[in-house]
Structure 1
Amino acid sequence: MFSNVVIKTISVLFLLISFYSVANQSKDNVDSKSVAETLSIKSLFQTDDYRNVSLSPDGKHIALIRNQNDVPVIIIVDAATMQAVNQISFAKKDSVGHYLWANNDRLLIFLHTKQRNEERKAYYGEIYSIDIDEAKGKFIFGVRSLVHRGKIKKNVTEADYEKHLAHPRIISTLESDPEHIIISTSQYGSEGMWVFKLNTYSGAIETLAQVDGYKTDHKTTRLWYLEDKQELWFRTILADNNVVLGRYDFSDDSWIKYNPKQASTELSIISYTQDKQKLIVSDYCGNDTISICLFDPNKQTISSLYTIEGTDVDWLYLDNENKPYALSYFDEYPKFKILDEKHYMAKALAGFLSKFPGYKLQVKWDSTYGEKAMLMLSSDVQPSLWYLFDHKKNKLNYVASSKKTLDVSKLHQQYSFKFKARDDMSIQGYITLPEKSNQKPQPAIILVHGGPHIRNYWGFDPEVQLLASNGYAVVQVNFRGSDGFGWKFKSAGFKQWGESIQYDILDGVNYLIANNYLDKDRLCIMGASFGGYSAVKSSLIEPSLFKCAIASSGVYDLDLLIDDSEEKEASILIDRVGVEVLQVSHSVIHDINKLQIPLLLAHGSKDDRTPLEQAEVLIAQLEKHNKNYQWFEFENEGHGFFNENNQYKFYQHVLQFLNEHNPVEH
């Protein structure tokens, strides 16, 4: 894709390239001696070599997580020399989940722990703090911060212990106070939220505020601390979906509450304007799409500042003085809108976009000087790459690749397409074609996304690439109800799980058949979670369209799903799924007698989102009606498969199943 390659090796891990020369991706990212002849399941799904690459606030150091013999290790790199200066790792029980910079010299590490009889390592609320040049740090939050030599410390009170029984969220790293951060917690088994100032060296906690009087937790409530005005804000969603904002008055320990007009449940605070008179927020603010808006606390009104027709705004880029200079959004492909062409950060962004055409780009400048920026690049045929930009020197340093041994030359391009659904609604999707298409209609896998209120994006997807590398066209439809295309489009999917959403998927398939992209006689449908539901449901609506269906971690009895959910979640589900009559008519278990094709069914035994019972009630109907199916239960897996060996086994089953029921002609 790029030419004029100039590469100079300066260390084992890092390469230097000039800003005016971009290394050819096949040379940057591939060691020819280590690449397998063809793409394999393991090469696509193995743990990333590098992830979570970021700059220290002053831009002098880089931290990144490296997979080292299946152990995540934090590497600290001197940004001036590009030499590694330290590495931080933990025993097998604990592993690095992610981290944040507490200040220029100290990291906050969020440990993931594997519980007994569960494959997935999860975060249980513990924060470990360590200087970047130290070999050992300390727990500053969580039960282990209260323990010394296996016993609870003598001075720990019951109230202290209860404070640490929580999942904290960091709401500010307090750049003006390097020793402290501000966290919010929602404690186990109780309602209400607390805001604490936490010392990142000693672990000492100071209570700042409590959000009380509402049924508040991290699901309904978000908090922000705006350091430039030293203000604490919350946004909470009430039972009737009304939105309340609150600003804490530290002088009398009370909340000043606002009921902003036109506020939605999507409202998120970004910052203050430069004059400190209004809040910059993300919300609909009278538009159909998520926009950048201004909230006036005095008038309690929200007005539109920046909006993109037909697609939600993804991110607002601000400089270190809160001046907007660009925004990003994602319609069919990732895009930017420059807001201030004269701003040096905007000029640099324009340069990056010119030098890296055809890539998704994220830019994060150092927050102290605004002189260095970390770039993350990716595309449909390129997993994530990171580069360090030095504004003064006008140079880029290549830092890392997420999958350094993957042969990207064997990846398949992903293309956007649009069509009209049967009710004339405009629908967008993606198609990835196998390498040797020869302009002939292709055997295909219709890959349905989960949610359903999320969306497919253009970009590298190991599942898509695996299927395409095995000779299948892969079709992904952003059916109505998908996120990112505005409220009207999203809400059009409410209570349409078993009808219009499925019709959109089927209409997309028929559009591609009519335009000679797909072979109508060689189609299968596949998905996980809601996608698993759709794989079965679409096969019941059009019994003769597909050769086979593959469903994992799916939901098959909607009434049962709602009955098994907590009160708040059940209420949301009813709004999205519909009342009992629709729950019954849209549930696939009641129409299994119509199934005419083989079904591969997989589920994790510890799935807490769509419990194993969902698969069991479907299997009972498959047995009752004597249907052709294969069943794989993955012990100790949750919602999705996290153990690499289980991922490998699952996709082996998938490829064998497809080869049996929808083989590719070689």
Structure 2
Amino acid sequence: MKLSAVCALLLGVVLSAVSAAKELPVEAFASAPAIDKLKLSPDGSKLSMIQTLDTEKEQLVLVKLFDLQTGEQKYLVKADSRDLRIYSVIWANNKQLLMRAAYASHRYGTPVTETRLMLIDVETGKNRSVVNGQLQGKLVRTPQFQSNIVALMPEDEHNILLALDGFNHGTGTSVVKVSLNGGLHEMVAHARKDLYDWVADRQHRPRIALFRDDTRYEVQEKMLDTKEFRTLWQFELFSEQEVWPIGFDADPNILYVSAYHEGKLAIFKTDLSAAQPTLQLVKADENYDVPADIRYSWQDNKVIAIGEEYVDADYQAFQKAVDKALPDADNHIVSMSNDKNRYIIETSSATSPGSYLLGERKEKSMTFLLDKYSQLDPELMVAKQKIQYQARDGLNIEGYLTTPLGYQQGAVPTIIFPHGGPISFDDGGFDYWTQFFANRGYAVLQMNFRGSHGYGFDFKQMGLQGWGLQMQDDVEDGTRWLINKGIADPKRICIVGASYGGYAALMGAVKTPDLYQCAVSFAGVTDVEALVKSHRRYNNYEVVKKQVGDDFDLLEQRSPVNHADKIQLPVLLVHGTKDRSVPVKQSVAMYKALKSENKDVQYIELEDGDHYLSTNSHRRQTFKAMDRFLKQHLNTQSQQALQQ
């Protein structure tokens, strides 16, 4: 492939020059991508994208359209990023976009997140909710979640299948065929008690219904041309009997699922035409869970990728050609025109936060469009090193170590950075938090402690109801391992985390006050007992109890807010007022507890802030506070010599 370049000014993006100084400005890291989520229209003539734009008066998130033929660009949607999070834009057809958005709200006095699906006319810029008019009139209550698209129908591009509840009191989720042109809707699958989601086959018929009763799950097949259902699998959540539908092949009887194989999640397929469907192994890994993902090409009418790899020979060859043109990078085809000629590549690496390119298969060319983070020069970033260490009970823990640019050897100030979730994981890809810390001269250790996702059934089980116990020990053991390796300066270590990671940071300060010199918690859990009890108002209460625990005496003991007297080091707390994952009162209570004990604590409240630092001003405020706090307590002003 021939690689060419065009000026990103075509997209209205000014590429800022990288500062000559080795320490980049906070804004270089603490800003959302200027433009992200690029998608081609079906005919390949236009690009849609999500843009963030800050002015003195406004903090905006926008849906932008760029015409590849004429060069014309325009904004279709403008919203305040503190009020609305736009997380997806999809082309329904060449003239209409579907926009998924989320916002904080209340229902009956309970704080919740609502989602909506908006329809945008790309010619006029007019937009409206997909759920309106005749459809709204059929609802007995307004659904909280309105963005669950069960199927787009490329051969019927003016209709979609949408999963909705609210048609009857106390029943589950139905599937509605919704007209995008104002026509009448059609009910294609009716709700049943405890039914919460659907999977359609490639002929766009709702075929798989998922039910949940507390922690008991059931996967049923809706039999074709009848109103009958049959049960395929039943299981308890977090059990080794879990079977999760992924999607269908072209054959409406072939269903792909994710299930355990020899203790690791694998991908299977099953034939629903059988009286007793059995699982046939398709893809497994003896060391790690296989991502529950398939990719289907409606143009080729077949599954082309399983897990994260292409299985179709043509697409394998195409990916190989892309990787040859863009070596030493992770290259993902994120959008393609209907004729498969034009495509968008998102390319990134351990030191590059990502760029977008436009490809033309007939011309065998790729054109550079823009960098996601224009101020982050890859030459000033640092690749993560995969590491492993043994926990005190002999369990092998994997993780990633990032050292400052130019580091050779010797002890340096260090950030211990456990991930959130806690059923999540860290990988070797680029993340702006880690690069920010490394750019300031810190080594950064991230560990996939027990309970992290991706390491199989037994490893995940070790984390259930384990907050503050061995999960916390794994973090401590990683810290001591890094000290023993001579990398972490034992007198200059700070533990930093967000969400569950914030909890781990505070529990580290409680359990091992002499190991760290400071702690930072962004949106961290401080009262585990209160967190679990707060879910009594939600329908996932039993799930939360099964994951976190329901012995409230024990949860009280494992809550940092009840051990403020044991914390001997400076603490920085940051939390958004519209956080719907961890209530802001969790950090408020921790701040009050620490102040009552006359501890060294700072608290920053982000007005209208969410759990994800979605707004640039909140990112900057948080990162600047961390920058000051870490430099003060790790005495790193003199460490910049490492980067000169």
The TM-score by the shorter chain falls in which range? 0.7 to 0.9
**CA-CA distance at 1:394 after TM superposition:** 2.2
Asked if residue 179 in structure 1 is aligned to residue 158 in structure 2, the reply is yes
| CA deviations over 1:493-516 (Å, ceiling 9, x no partner) | 112211111111111122222222
Asked if residue 43 in structure 1 is aligned to residue 28 in structure 2, the reply is yes
Q: How does 1:288-303 map to 2 (within 5 A)?
A: 288-297=263-272, 298=274, 299-303=276-280
**CA-CA distance at 1:423 after TM superposition:** 1.5
Q: Distance in 1 between matches of 2:64 and 2:138?
A: 37
Asked if residue 578 in structure 1 is aligned to residue 549 in structure 2, the reply is yes
Residue 244 of structure 2 corresponds to: 267
Counterpart selection for 1:607 from 579, 603, 612: 579
Deviates more, 1:315-324 or 1:204-213: 315-324
Percentage of pairs with the same residue: 23
Counterpart selection for 1:246 from 216, 221, 235: 221
Q: Distance in 2 between matches of 1:569 and 1:260?
A: 18
What residue identity is the alignment partner of 1:247?
Answer: K
Residue 419 of structure 1 corresponds to: 389
Q: Distance in 1 between matches of 2:485 and 2:7?
A: 51
| CA deviations over 1:502-538 (Å, ceiling 9, x no partner) | 1111111222222222112211101121111111112
Q: Distance in 2 between matches of 1:551 and 1:95?
A: 23
Asked if residue 404 in structure 1 is aligned to residue 374 in structure 2, the reply is yes
Q: Per chain length, whose mean CA-contact separation is higher, i.e. which structure has more relative contact order (CA < 8 Å, sep 6+)?
A: 2
* SS of alignment partner, residue 397 of structure 2: strand
Counterpart selection for 1:548 from 518, 527, 541: 518
Residue 463 of structure 2 corresponds to: 493
| CA deviations over 1:370-405 (Å, ceiling 9, x no partner) | 344322112232122122333333222223322234
CA contact (8 A) 2:7 2:369 kept: no
Counterpart selection for 1:255 from 229, 232, 235: 229
Counterpart selection for 2:626 from 654, 657, 666: 654
Taking a change above 3 Å as real, the CA distance of residues 123 and 55 of structure 1, as seen in their structure-2 partners, is farther
**CA-CA distance at 1:271 after TM superposition:** 1.7
Residue 388 of structure 1 corresponds to: 358
Q: Distance in 2 between matches of 1:5 and 1:252?
A: 54
Q: Distance in 1 between matches of 2:197 and 2:172?
A: 12
* SS of alignment partner, residue 600 of structure 1: strand
Residue 280 of structure 1 corresponds to: 256
Q: Distance in 1 between matches of 2:442 and 2:98?
A: 44
Residue 455 of structure 1 corresponds to: 425
Q: Distance in 1 between matches of 2:339 and 2:206?
A: 24
Question: How well do the aligned residues superpose, as a CA RMSD in angstroms?
Answer: 3.4
CA contact (8 A) 1:455 1:482 kept: yes
Residue 109 of structure 2 corresponds to: none
* SS of alignment partner, residue 156 of structure 2: coil
Counterpart selection for 2:130 from 141, 165, 168: 141
Q: Distance in 2 between matches of 1:550 and 1:437?
A: 24
What residue identity is the alignment partner of 2:281?
Answer: S
Taking a change above 3 Å as real, the CA distance of residues 632 and 512 of structure 1, as seen in their structure-2 partners, is same
Q: How does 1:72-91 map to 2 (within 5 A)?
A: 72-78=61-67, 81=69, 83-84=71-72, 87-90=75-78
Asked if residue 316 in structure 1 is aligned to residue 294 in structure 2, the reply is yes
What residue identity is the alignment partner of 1:350?
Answer: K
**CA-CA distance at 1:48 after TM superposition:** 1.5
Taking a change above 3 Å as real, the CA distance of residues 311 and 245 of structure 1, as seen in their structure-2 partners, is same
What residue identity is the alignment partner of 1:582?
Answer: L
Taking a change above 3 Å as real, the CA distance of residues 164 and 438 of structure 1, as seen in their structure-2 partners, is closer
Counterpart selection for 2:47 from 52, 57, 62: 62
CA contact (8 A) 1:11 1:82 kept: no
Structure 1 stretches of 5 or more lacking a match? 16-27, 117-121, 147-154, 330-335
Residue 210 of structure 2 corresponds to: 235
Q: Distance in 1 between matches of 2:386 and 2:39?
A: 31
* SS of alignment partner, residue 259 of structure 1: strand
Structure 2 stretches of 5 or more lacking a match? 107-111, 640-644
| CA deviations over 1:134-157 (Å, ceiling 9, x no partner) | 123342524xx44xxxxxxxx898
Taking a change above 3 Å as real, the CA distance of residues 504 and 355 of structure 1, as seen in their structure-2 partners, is farther
Asked if residue 534 in structure 1 is aligned to residue 504 in structure 2, the reply is yes
Q: Distance in 2 between matches of 1:196 and 1:263?
A: 33
**CA-CA distance at 1:289 after TM superposition:** 2.4
Asked if residue 167 in structure 1 is aligned to residue 123 in structure 2, the reply is no
**CA-CA distance at 1:71 after TM superposition:** 3.7
Q: Distance in 1 between matches of 2:477 and 2:85?
A: 45
TM-score of the aligned structures, taking structure 1 as reference length: 0.84
CA contact (8 A) 2:420 2:501 kept: yes
TM-score of the aligned structures, taking structure 2 as reference length: 0.86
What residue identity is the alignment partner of 1:225?
Answer: A
Q: Distance in 1 between matches of 2:376 and 2:628?
A: 23
Q: How does 1:504-653 map to 2 (within 5 A)?
A: 504-566=474-536, 568-580=539-551, 581-653=553-625
Q: How does 1:158-237 map to 2 (within 5 A)?
A: 158-159=137-138, 162=141, 166-187=145-166, 190-202=170-182, 204-214=184-194, 216=195, 221-228=196-203, 230-237=205-212
| CA deviations over 1:25-61 (Å, ceiling 9, x no partner) | xxx9955388887412212122311111112334443
Taking a change above 3 Å as real, the CA distance of residues 169 and 579 of structure 1, as seen in their structure-2 partners, is closer
CA contact (8 A) 2:450 2:474 kept: yes
**Number of residue equivalences:** 618
* SS of alignment partner, residue 645 of structure 1: helix
Deviates more, 1:306-315 or 1:32-41: 32-41
| CA deviations over 1:281-333 (Å, ceiling 9, x no partner) | 2x12434222221123222322321112222223434444454454455xxxx
Q: Distance in 1 between matches of 2:494 and 2:135?
A: 59
Residue 333 of structure 1 corresponds to: none
Residue 24 of structure 1 corresponds to: none
Q: Distance in 1 between matches of 2:454 and 2:335?
A: 26
What residue identity is the alignment partner of 2:209?
Answer: F
CA contact (8 A) 2:4 2:366 kept: no
Q: Distance in 2 between matches of 1:431 and 1:616?
A: 32
Q: Distance in 2 between matches of 1:461 and 1:171?
A: 31
